[in-house]
Amino acid sequence: MSTEQNQYGEEELKLFDDIKSGRTFDLGDELPPFYKKHLLNLLWMQGDSEYAGALGYMPWIEKAPSLHEKVLVAQIVKDEMRHAQVVYRLLDGLGEKTLDHTNTKELGYKIEEDEAQIGFKRVKDDYRVNIFYYNIKYWHDFILFNFLMDRAAGHQLEDTLESSYLPWKKNIAGIFKEETFHVVHGDKWIGILAQDPKEKPFLQERLNLWWPRVMNVFGSTRSQTNDLYVRLGLKKRTNGEIRQAFLDDILPLCKKWGLEVPDYKESDQPT
Ligand SMILES: [Fe+2]
Ligand SMILES: [Fe+2]
């Protein structure tokens, strides 16, 4: 308790208590600066991830394997861009300048090296979750992104369904529903590729590449910031808990399709 007293002032400890007892914040409410700072961090991270995600998916409208799939990918791109719009509007409402940001940052930037592993590193001065720096090179990658990353995002957004910041909470239900559709698309295609003996080895190869990247999106399980988000009512579970929920969901699916999940060690990841 003594370290905690050192780390946070009386005002913050009172805020944690109030939030624990159900205090929420709505549009027009004055936000405690400490709360606002952490809320902005999370919103920027989501906004830039949705936006960079949409841009990263865009080339796949053209490259998708059938006209039907081109329509589905176009729909997914539209969904992600709409998610970005929703979150950027929340940020603008809090006095941020998202249009200047998207006009000046390179949110379409991708790492060119196909097998790069950046661990927990940042690459540019935007706020996207760092998996959105990797290039989607093959259709298998696009599908793995739906199968793994949209599913991981779903688990993370689940916490926002109960956010202490009400405008975010109200908007997240629609986003969550659309992410579920992306996951269904991934599940369908993982089944198709895994049952095709010509495609399965390459699918496994690409899964090996994407697996640590996806595991890293849950952040460090030792992160202090994450506990703070929980105390501010901006998340419900710690990084480690959300990662475990994702694993409980994904591992049986990989097993069902005969896909092997590579070993992952958080301590091996570059920081
Ligand atoms: Fe999204
Ligand atoms: Fe998505």
Secondary structure (3-state) at 165: strand
pLDDT at position 237 over 50? yes
Tokens representing 241 are 């808990």
CA of 106 to the centre of ligand 1 (A): 19
Interval between CA 68 and ligand 1 midpoint (Å): 21
Show the CA angle centred on residue 92, arms to residues 156 and 181, nearest 5°.
35
Q: Which residues pair with 134 in a beta bridge?
A: 111
Q: Which ligand is nearest to the CA of 82?
A: 1
* Distance in Å, CA 150 to ligand 2 centroid: 5
Q: Residue 116: what pLDDT?
A: 95
CB within 5 A of ion ligand 2: which residues?
A: 150, 179, 182
Ligand located closest to 160 CA: 1
Q: What digits encode the pLDDT tens for the residues 245-266?
A: 999 999 999 999 999 999 998 8
pLDDT at residue 3 tops 60: no
137 C-alpha to ligand 1 centroid (Å): 20
- Counting ligands in written order, the one closest to the CA of 80 is 1
pLDDT at 6: 60
Q: How far apart are CA 93 and CA 29, in angstroms?
A: 11
Ligand 1 centroid to residue 184 C-alpha, Å: 14
* Virtual torsion, Cα 116, 117, 121, 126, nearest 10 deg: 50
**CA angle at 53 for the pair 207 and 35, rounded to the nearest 5°:** 110
Give the Å distance between the CA of 3 and the centre of ligand 1.
38
Query: 175: CA distance to ligand 1 center in Å?
Result: 6
Distance 50 CA to ligand 1 centre (A): 5
- Look at 137-151, 221-235, 236-250 and tell me which has the smallest mean pLDDT: 221-235
What confidence tens digit (pLDDT) does each residue in 198-216 have?
999 999 999 999 999 999 9
Q: How far is the CA of 154 from the centre of ligand 2 (A)?
A: 8
pLDDT in tens, 124-147: 999 999 999 999 999 999 999 999
Give the pLDDT confidence score for residue 4 in this predicted structure.
Answer: 52
Residue 21: CB atoms within 10 A of its CB come to 7
- pLDDT for residue 48 is more than 50: yes
Domains annotated on the chain, with CATH:
31-259 (1.20.1260.10)
Q: Could you tell me the distance, in angstroms and rounded to a whole number, from the CA of residue 82 to the centre of ligand 1? A: 8
Give the pLDDT confidence score for residue 2 in this predicted structure.
44
> 191: which residues sit within 8 A by CB, 6+ positions away?
257
